[in-house]
Amino acid sequence: MPQYYLRSKSAFDPRRGQIMELPGAGCFYALAALAMAFAGFTSIVVVLRQGTGKPLSPLHVMFTSVYIELGLMASAFAMLAPVLALFGISEILIWQISSAIMIAALVLWFFFFPIRRKVAAPEDRLPLRFYIMYGLGTAVVVALGLNTYGAMSNPGPGPLALATVYVLATASVIFIGNYSSYLRD
pLDDT tens string 84-123: 998 888 899 999 999 999 999 999 999 999 999 999 999 9
Q: Is residue 11 part of a domain?
A: no
Q: Is residue 12 part of a domain?
A: no
Query: Are the C-beta atoms of 121 and 36 separated by less than 8 Å?
Result: no
Which amino acid, residue 112?
F
- Residues 8-31 have pLDDT tens digits of 454 555 555 565 688 888 899 999
- Cα separation, 142 vs 146, in Å, equals 6
Q: Is residue 1 part of a domain?
A: no
Q: Is residue 51 part of a domain?
A: yes
Could you tell me the residue range of the domain that residue 173 belongs to? 23-184
Prediction pTM value: 0.84
Q: Is residue 137 part of a domain?
A: yes
Q: Is residue 121 part of a domain?
A: yes
Task: Say yes or no to pLDDT of 168 above 80.
Answer: yes
Q: Is residue 18 part of a domain?
A: no
- Cα separation, 36 vs 57, in Å, equals 25
Total domains in the chain come to 1
Task: Please state the rounded mean pLDDT for residues 69-77.
Answer: 95
